[in-house]
């Protein structure tokens, strides 16, 4: 590797920088390589140390800093620096990182770029407090990400059930945390995709399925009937087993 790390061809040096078996000493040398693709490869290497990432976080090329933000070894301190990066793509990568802290997510939840705020809403570390704030975001994509988050509360889903965007309401209907009351409200939604999503939710009651089985939209009443048949069959099997094993 030492010999190849000095190869005049940048593609060879990049291949060395990407190799997970390369030593930290060689990665340290390649972190100062004149070619930004080589430095990006170093930043992406799962073996790279936090010390090397601290050097690369100051790189002039956005692709190198982006690779730092995505590295699984990146420290909270480095993520804090990158959360203030002028490039929105790097801030997005920070918001997507599963190691990012709630404090940084709170800062990024107010980011001027909607894709960054959407990434915050998708992050598994996001707090209910942040999700509540983002549920009122002016951008549809951000509210959609909130509605899809498995951590979102019943109260937030109830609020988003009144959202003007059809996709947001559909996502509310599919969320496993949605309440029976909210599903009942959405079963009367003017949009057929929302009603279809209600019928698909495993939590939907038999009462709602009965109503949706008579829906004017073919796809809605078809899926509601199919779900009713499945539940009736399951109930019949349970009753039969109870009779056999009394």
Q: How far apart are CA 13 and CA 9, in angstroms?
A: 7
- Please tell me the predicted confidence (pLDDT) of residue 233: 66
- Please tell me the predicted confidence (pLDDT) of residue 243: 54
Q: Express each pLDDT in 128-145 by its tens digit.
A: 999 999 999 999 999 999
Nearest Cα residue to 175 out of 198, 205, 208: 198
- Please tell me the predicted confidence (pLDDT) of residue 240: 45
Q: Express each pLDDT in 95-119 by its tens digit.
A: 999 999 999 999 999 999 999 999 9
What separation in angstroms does the CA of 155 have from each of 119, 161, 202? 21, 10, 19
Q: How far apart are CA 9 and CA 69, in angstroms?
A: 27
Q: How many CA atoms lie within 13 A of 190 on its CB side?
A: 5
Which parts of the chain have pLDDT scores under 50? 240
The token pair that represents 96 in the structure block: 């997507």
- Please tell me the predicted confidence (pLDDT) of residue 15: 95
- Please tell me the predicted confidence (pLDDT) of residue 72: 87
- Please tell me the predicted confidence (pLDDT) of residue 230: 87
Nearest Cα residue to 83 out of 124, 59, 116, 54: 116
């Amino acid at each position: 590797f030492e010999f190849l790390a000095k190869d005049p061809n940048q593609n060879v040096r990049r291949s060395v920088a990407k190799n997970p078996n390369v030593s930290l000493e060689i990665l340290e040398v390649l972190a100062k390589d004149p070619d930004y693709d080589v430095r990006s490869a170093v930043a992406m290497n799962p073996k790279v140390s936090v010390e090397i990432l601290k050097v690369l976080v100051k790189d002039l090329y956005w692709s190198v800093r982006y690779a730092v933000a995505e590295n699984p070894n990146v420290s909270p301190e480095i993520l804090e620096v990158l959360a203030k990066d002028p490039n929105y793509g790097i801030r997005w990568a920070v918001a997507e990182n599963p190691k990012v802290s709630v404090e940084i997510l709170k800062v990024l939840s107010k980011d001027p770029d909607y894709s960054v705020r959407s990434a915050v809403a998708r992050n598994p570390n996001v707090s209910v407090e942040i999700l509540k704030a983002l549920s009122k975001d002016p951008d549809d994509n951000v509210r959609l990400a909130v509605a899809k988050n498995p951590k979102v509360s019943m109260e937030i889903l109830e609020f988003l059930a009144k959202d003007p965007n059809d996709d947001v309401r559909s996502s509310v209907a599919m969320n496993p945390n949605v309440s029976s009351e909210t599903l009942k409200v959405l079963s009367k939604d003017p949009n057929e995709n929302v009603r279809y999503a209600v019928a698909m939710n495993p939590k939907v009651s038999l009462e709602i399925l009965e109503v949706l089985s008579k829906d004017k939209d073919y796809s809605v009443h078809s899926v509601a009937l199919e779900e009713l048949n499945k539940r009736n069959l399951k109930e019949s099997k349970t009753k039969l087993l109870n009779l056999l094993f009394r």
